[in-house]
Structure 1
């Protein structure tokens, strides 16, 4: 059975990790970064560029040539994935993103009303573009493991709706990955922290991202959750399988 990789498909940077025994391990990319460098050097910019000779660049190579090829360099595509063109967030991005000022590159409405990008007259869906970043992550993992990788877990922001989550899965499929699960980013971080500690973490608020470490007691199907109320927006996430109590906050 092959490895299942974990991918953080970020708006600005992305990274890929595997389980090395019982420890999550973020992998170096092809640009030659090492674990002796800072953590952010193990990430890959979520930037995609299309050169004049038809080559597709992803990550640092795309970032380096952005100054000389801005009209064909895409970034922050995650802000469009799974969204409708008329969405308030998309219209705000249209007004501030530089894409629209170039003749060859702009945010457009697809036939079905989704927000797409047009490059040199070619209409492209955000999942199609994001798939290039996922392919890069897939290749990084395959180079490290020395074997094909076909399955992945991808993290998304906790506020992503069903359409955005499905679009992320579509991007994985285009990249040649079977997406086994879409996990909220705070939940993924909490699970990685507590995987070997017998603890669980949860997000307590949509307005404030809290990662709270919980002790798990498999005693009954009732739920007990205690935490300090930070604001009027605070609403606890209920976990109906275990009796839990707040142990530590991180």
Structure 2
């Protein structure tokens, strides 16, 4: 837009879309904010933080840890991959869940541009291995996209801040990425090669179980305990109250 990148608003008017997918009892598929709003009342059919599972085997330590942290089912497919399961036992590959989010992004772009979108560049954490990157490409294909490239998220962040346009010689930068479910730190070298900036991730580390969702959970757990002490009522037994509490905790965190 005028030579500058623009983040397109989705159908709800937001520039960000939660990576949450829900399946309702009547067969409807909800993606983003609508899925998030009904998460507490439909926890076993609402899938989030699936990026922790994509391209991983069921026996991976990260997957085993995740099983105890999410309300939905995580199961082993015949090939050993980690899949998710709905309340009625239907099994879904994590690529299928991610594809729903990518398809919403595709429709958002098409509504704004007024034309069909067929190609995409998708970002992934720098620590993703080949299997995870291929699974991400598969998710794009399921969503009807030709994935031209998979690039590292810290590299994308550096590009978004225009660090490929700056003058000067080689330099190293640190990129902090605190997301909804993960926290990563990457060291990137920006080198000037034949007049063009090239990015190389030298090192990356982080915590795949530290993000906005985890902050929300800590606040909610604290408030539930305090309310139980004061009123003798356990809000965990009231899904609607818990949903309101979650919404309030998230708003308080943001503000």
User: CA shift at 1:195, angstroms?
Assistant: 4.4
* Structure 1 unaligned residues grouped into runs of 5+: 1-19, 34-41, 100-105, 226-233, 238-250
- Which stretch has the larger CA shift, 71-80 or 178-187? 71-80
> Cα distance 1:218–1:113, how it changes in 2: closer, same or farther (>3 A)?
same
User: CA shift at 1:191, angstroms?
Assistant: 1.9
Please tell me whether the aligned partners of residues 205 and 235 of structure 1 are also in contact (alpha carbons under 8 angstroms). no
RMSD: 3.0
Give distance in 1, aligned partners of 2:25 and 2:35. Answer: 13
Please tell me whether the aligned partners of residues 187 and 202 of structure 2 are also in contact (alpha carbons under 8 angstroms). no
Please tell me whether the aligned partners of residues 187 and 203 of structure 1 are also in contact (alpha carbons under 8 angstroms). no
User: CA shift at 1:172, angstroms?
Assistant: 0.2
Please tell me whether the aligned partners of residues 174 and 187 of structure 2 are also in contact (alpha carbons under 8 angstroms). yes
Give distance in 2, aligned partners of 1:32 and 1:209. Answer: 32
TM-score normalised to structure 1 length: 0.69
TM-score normalised to structure 2 length: 0.68
| Structure 2 counterpart of 1:189 | 157
Please tell me whether the aligned partners of residues 83 and 91 of structure 2 are also in contact (alpha carbons under 8 angstroms). yes
Give distance in 2, aligned partners of 1:201 and 1:96. Answer: 40
| Structure 1 counterpart of 2:104 | 136
Higher relative contact order (CA 8 A, sep 6+): 1
User: CA shift at 1:116, angstroms?
Assistant: 0.3
- Which stretch has the larger CA shift, 147-156 or 89-98? 89-98
| Structure 2 counterpart of 1:209 | 186
1:157 aligns with 2:130: no
| Structure 1 counterpart of 2:24 | 51
* Structure 2 unaligned residues grouped into runs of 5+: 177-183, 205-255
Q: Secondary structure at the match of 1:26?
A: coil
Give distance in 1, aligned partners of 2:56 and 2:135. Answer: 9
Structure 1 residue runs of 4+, over 3 Å off? 195-208, 234-237
Q: Secondary structure at the match of 2:30?
A: strand
> Cα distance 1:115–1:78, how it changes in 2: closer, same or farther (>3 A)?
same
> Cα distance 1:202–1:60, how it changes in 2: closer, same or farther (>3 A)?
farther
Give distance in 1, aligned partners of 2:100 and 2:202. Answer: 37
* Structure with a larger share of its residues in strand: 1
Please tell me whether the aligned partners of residues 186 and 203 of structure 2 are also in contact (alpha carbons under 8 angstroms). no
